[in-house]
């Protein structure tokens, strides 16, 4: 399973939906369910799954599927 697919699966778990419902254009602005609590759960789930840690500065910028994906690439996960 590739990085995008793994990330899509984590999003599906956190948002409690089918993986097929996860759109790569998801952001905090266009996804009503993506509130501050869900952001924390998503970040900690991703950190646990990939064995990484986001800095406080990174956390405030991770407001979309694409930004999170790009951050993971930047951490050498692709």
| Neighbour count for residue 45 (Cβ, 10 Å) | 14
Q: Which fold has domain 3-74?
A: 1.10.1200
Q: What is the mean pLDDT of residues 43-56?
A: 97
pLDDT value of residue 78: 79
State how far the Cα of 3 lies from the Cα of 9, in Å rounded to an integer: 10
Q: What percent of the chain has pLDDT over 90?
A: 97
Indicate if the pLDDT at residue 39 is higher than 90: yes
Indicate if the pLDDT at residue 28 is higher than 90: yes
pLDDT value of residue 29: 97
pLDDT value of residue 1: 82
| Neighbour count for residue 40 (Cβ, 10 Å) | 11
């Amino acid at each position: 399973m590739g990085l995008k697919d793994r990330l899509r699966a984590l999003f599906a778990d956190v948002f409690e939906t089918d993986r097929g419902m996860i759109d790569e254009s998801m952001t905090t602005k266009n996804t009503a369910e993506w509130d501050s609590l869900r952001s924390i759960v998503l970040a900690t789930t991703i950190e646990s799954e990939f064995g990484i840690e986001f800095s406080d500065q990174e956390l405030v910028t991770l407001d979309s599927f694409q930004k999170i994906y790009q951050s993971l690439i930047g951490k050498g996960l692709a």
